Structure 1
Amino acid sequence: MPSLISGMAYVRLSAPDLGRMQAFLEDFGMVTVARDARRLYMRGIGDSPFLHVTELGDPGAAGFAYDLADPERLAEAAKLPGAGPVEPLDAPGGGERVRLRGPDGLGIELVAGRERVAPLPPRPLVRGPEGESRTTGPARIRRIAHTAYMSRNLPEVIDWYQRTLGVIPSDELFVGETGNTLGQFNRVDLGEEPVDHHVIFLLRGRKDGMHHVSYEVEGVDDIFFGFDHMAGAGRDHVRGIGRHALGSQIFNYWMSPFEQMHEHWISQERLTANSKFNLIRIGEGMSYDTGEKPSKRFVEQASPLVPPLP
């Protein structure tokens, strides 16, 4: 049966200073949609009303939100074990949602019916009479792509995502012998429709929390001039620029002022429901990519789970 979800809608984080978070996200490449005393909403250049929510509170991750593959399945989602009722989504774009929690307590939102917004104009690709080759300023964020989540209970979490949301495995990483799973990439199942390599990466760790949230940029150049802009603004660089071998993904990672890792990302590989699942042996520290070996900070990153605001 196809996945219950079609992809990510937004991430819900928490921070004690919405102004500092807003400045970071604008440097990262997002556009402010709305802000009040309790919440900050940010969008990209696409038609989503927002891609990122920051709530006022202790630093951490408050939840992951997914678009339903079929809005008619919202009532079905409300019957999932532990799920709440269908309720209005009080946020830009409106819509409805069902809330539930993953095995570790991470908040999950299943959303439908959000009003789309007009995309922002694309970056000009033809040089004008006064133009030049250089592009400066922040990267242009197109959409939210995926999250990575660390758990002390990896088999249980993998099973929950596959049973509850209907995601399917793309690649599994193991150390030493098969069964010593370090992490598993899971994608949505939309049949013959091509999808990203993964909508979530679930990895084993000594704590529970969000490893990172990933945003697709408009073009590969955004990775590079986005790097220049973030570095010039004094932002906290964690890893990159590099290429993940799995998914053919060019990446660069940045840490928010409140220790929440954000990725600039673009990928060439797409999969369907029939794409092969691979078991892949790797070395310790997720060292399976082009570029420098991942640092201890990158490997052990996990933003703690915090409750969302009521």
Structure 2
Amino acid sequence: MIQSIKRATFDEPTSAIWETSMLPLPSAQQLRYLIALSELRHFGRAAAACAVTQSTLSAGIMALERQLDATLLDRTVGKKVVFTPLGHEIALKARQALAALESVPQLAAAARTPLTGPMRLGIIPTIGPFLIPQTVTILREHFPRLLLSITEDTTEHLLEKLALGQLDILALAMPCLCDGTETHPLWQDPFRVIMPEGHPLASMSTVPVSRLSSHGMVMMEDGHCLREQTLAICRQGPNRAGTEGESETTFTAMSLHSMAEMVELGLGIAIMPALAIDGGILRGRRILSRPLTGGPAWRTLGLAWRPRSPRAADFQTLSATLATLRPPESP
């Protein structure tokens, strides 16, 4: 009788474990499809994010539903992407599961040698052209086995790609809406006001923020954090609450190089990071730059990555390495 009880106690959990292991498991690719669709709520954009066709992604989601014998999307609402309550819960679990799966080879690589193997860096356009050459040089020197790939995009898009697992670490300008990431500041990058030669502000050695209100501005287009940072600086001065309403005196640039061209043409003044100016963006142009005074006039350059990343130690090492690129303080 005692033997029978022991056998039953042993056999039952063994059977349960065996039955659980026989459940159909989704593939990593299926999880990526589901996470991308959950994040972007659009089949076309989700497919582009996963580098597949829309039909491939749609078929993958349907195959996952058949495999799980569950309805993940509510298809009664037309073309909108609406997840069922179960689909929403499974998408959350999928994100956790994919992160755990990807951490396995990352942990093994990190244990062998720091900063070894592939690392996908995202960087914003107002930093990339001026920091990438130094970054690549110093990383090749110190970590020759690191396989670095770089993606340049706006902050919003980079954060999306980080959340989807398409990037490992980001180089951003802060403050930014970086919720859901772990951030590590590197150094402050002062802002300068740039103007064409002969401009009324050119006679000043420094320009108070309050003096910006009476001049037309050239700003980056929507989506660039530098635009929001410029508006925040302009709001420090008097009568600037309606900055966005002064579109007739504001020109929009797609890049810092376009901004410099517009300023040289006399279309307005602009706020530009010292990183770009020190990098030579104004070289050969009839443009002057002056420091800003009268309020906080800088951005903080830093790195961001997913919380609890298995490569956190690598990212901390990378932060310490890139911090050595900090430019000397301007007199």
Relative to its length, the structure with more helix (as a share) is 2
- TM-score, scaled to structure 1: 0.21
Larger radius of gyration: 2
- TM-score, scaled to structure 2: 0.20
Relative to its length, the structure with more strand (as a share) is 1
